[in-house]
Chains A and B, each alone.
Chain A
Amino acid sequence: MPFDPVILWTDALVYLLAAAAVTMGWYIRRHSHLLTPWRRITHSASGMAAFTILVFFILIGLLDTIHFRPALDNNTGNRDEKVYSVEVLSLFDIIATPLRTRVEKTYSAPLSAHLYAKETVELPSGSQTREFTRLMFGGAHLEDPETQRIGDITKRSIAGAGWGLLAWGVIVIALGMLLARQHHTNFLHMQLTIWRGMTETPWYAILITLGLIFILLGMIIALSSHYYVLGTDKVGQDVLYQSLKSIRTGLVIGTLTTLIMLPFALLLGIAAGYFRGWVDDVIQYTYTTLSSIPSVLLIAAAVLMMQVYIETHPEMFDTVSARADLRLLFLCIILGITSWTGLCRLLRGETLKLREMEYIQAAHAFAVSHWRIISRHILPNLMHIVLIAIVMDFSGLVLAEAVLSYVGVGVDPSMISFGTMINAARLEMAREPMVWWTLLAAFGFMFILVLSANLFADAVQNAFNPRIRTLSERASKSSSRAGNMPQANTSSSSRTISSTAPEIKETAHS
Chain B
Amino acid sequence: MTPLLEIKQLRTILHTGSEPVRAVDGLGLKIFKGETFALLGESGCGKSMTALSIMRLLPETAEIIEGHIKINGNDLLLLPETAMRKIRGKRISMIFQEPMLSLNPVMTIASQIEEVLRQHFDLHATEIQKRILDILQQVGIPDASRRMADYPFQFSGGMKQRVMIAMALAGQPELLIADEPTTALDVTIQAQVLDLMRELQQRSHMAILLITHDLGVVAEMAHRVAVMYAGEIIETATREDFFRQPAHPYSQKLFAALPTKSKRNQGLAVISGNVPPLSQLFRGCRFADRCDHAWELCRQTAPEWIEITPGHQVKCHLFSESEELNHPVQISAQTTALANSDKVAPHHAAALLHVSDLKIHFPIHKGLLKHIVGYIKAVDGVSLTIAAGKTLALVGESGCGKTTVGKGICQLIPPTTGSVQLDGAELTGLARNQLRKKRAEFQIIFQDPYSSLNPRMRIIDIIEEGMNALDSDHRDKIKPDYQLSSNRTENEIDELLQRVGLPAEAKWRYPHEFSGGQRQRIAIARALAVNPKLLICDEPTSALDVSVQAQILNLLRTLQQSLGLAYLFITHNIAVVEYLADEVAVMYLGKIVEQGHVDEVLNTPKHPYTQALLSSVPVIEATSKRKSIHLKSELPSPANTPSGCYFHPRCPYVMPICHEIYPDKSVFSPTHSAHCYLYAQNQNSV
Contact = CB atoms under 8 A, between A and B. Distances in A.
A372 B510 CA distance: 19
B19 A359 contact: no
Interface string A350-379: 000000011101111111110010001100
A366 B470 contact: yes
A473 interface: yes
Contacts of B435: 367
Interface in B16-40: 16-20
Contacts of B15: 473-474, 477
B61 A493 contact: no
A359 B463 CA distance: 12
A505 B44 contact: yes
B263 interface: no
B184 to A, nearest CB: 13
A124 interface: no
B412 A364 contact: yes
Given A365-B410, A381-B456, A473-B61, A493 B18 contact: yes
A494 B280 CA distance: 11
Interface stretch (B193-201, B243-251, B442-450, B496-504): B442-450
Nearest to B538: A358
B513 A496 contact: no
Interface in A377-402: 377, 380-381
Given A381-B454, A471-B60, A33 B448 contact: no
A503 interface: yes
Contacts of B19: 477, 493, 497
B513 A502 contact: yes
A201 interface: no
Contacts of B448: 358
A498 B443 contact: no
A371 to B, nearest CB: 11
B457 A469 contact: no
Interface string B489-523: 00000000000000000000010111000000001
A391 B25 CA distance: 42
Given A358-B452, A362-B452, A503 B18 contact: no
Interface string B507-543: 0001011100000000100100010000000000001
Nearest to B435: A367
A79 interface: no
B625 interface: no
B299 interface: no
B355 interface: no
B465 interface: yes
B124 interface: no
A352 B461 CA distance: 24
Interface string A471-510: 1011011001000000000000110111111111110111
Contacts of B526: 362
Given A359-B451, A493-B18, A497-B18, A368 B465 contact: yes
B469 A372 contact: yes
Interface in B428-479: 432, 435-436, 439, 443-444, 446-448, 450-457, 461, 465-466, 469-470
Contact of A359 (B60, B447, B453, B512): B453
B356 interface: no
Interface residues of A, number: 42
B279 A497 contact: yes
A464 to B, nearest CB: 13
Nearest to B442: A365
Contact of B512 (A358, A362, A502): A502
B277 interface: yes
**Which of A32, A366, A376, A493 has the largest number of chain B CB atoms within 10 A?**
A366
A362 B446 contact: yes
B407 interface: yes
A380 B447 CA distance: 23
Contacts of A469: 16, 61
A509 B60 CA distance: 18
B249 to A, nearest CB: 25
Given A367-B470, A368-B469, A506 B18 contact: no
Nearest to A502: B512
Contacts of B61: 469, 471, 473-474
Given A469-B16, A493-B18, A365 B443 contact: yes
Contact of B530 (A359, A364, A366, A503): A366
Given A365-B444, A469-B61, A358 B18 contact: no
A443 B450 CA distance: 49
Interface in B31-88: 44, 60-61
B444 A359 contact: no
A501 B465 contact: no
A364 to B, nearest CB: 6
A338 to B, nearest CB: 29
**Which of B17, B44, B514 has the largest number of chain A CB atoms within 10 A?**
B17
Interface in B87-118: none
Given A496-B18, A501-B17, A366 B469 contact: yes
A361 B530 contact: no
B345 to A, nearest CB: 28
Interface in A213-229: none
Contacts of A32: 510
Contact of A362 (B279, B513, B523): B523
Given A381-B455, A471-B60, A471-B61, A503 B512 contact: yes
Nearest to B432: A367
A367 B412 CA distance: 10
A376 B451 contact: no
B18 A365 contact: no
Interface in B417-433: 432
A359 B469 contact: no
B17 A357 contact: no
Nearest to A381: B456
A457 B298 CA distance: 51
B513 A376 contact: no
Contacts of A505: 44
A364 B407 CA distance: 11
B17 A496 contact: yes
B47 to A, nearest CB: 12
Nearest to A362: B452
Nearest to B407: A361
Given A367-B439, A499-B512, A473 B16 contact: yes
A380 B456 contact: yes
A357 B412 CA distance: 12
A494 B444 CA distance: 36
A359 B466 contact: no
A366 B466 contact: yes
Contacts of A473: 15-16, 61
A366 B467 CA distance: 8
A381 B451 CA distance: 12
A508 B44 CA distance: 9
Nearest to B543: A509
A368 B412 CA distance: 12
A410 B61 CA distance: 48
Contacts of A367: 432, 435-436, 439, 469-470
A362 B510 contact: no
A504 B17 CA distance: 9
Interface in B582-621: none
A502 B444 CA distance: 25
A366 B44 contact: no
A477 B17 contact: yes
A484 to B, nearest CB: 15
A55 B393 CA distance: 62
A366 B439 contact: yes
10 contacts: A358-B451, A359-B454, A362-B466, A365-B410, A365-B439, A380-B457, A473-B16, A477-B20, A501-B279, A509-B543
Given A33-B456, A376-B461, 9 more contacts: A362-B452, A362-B466, A366-B469, A367-B439, A368-B469, A493-B19, A496-B17, A499-B513, A501-B279
Closest 7 CB pairs of A and B: A366-B466, A358-B452, A497-B17, A367-B436, A358-B446, A380-B456, A502-B512
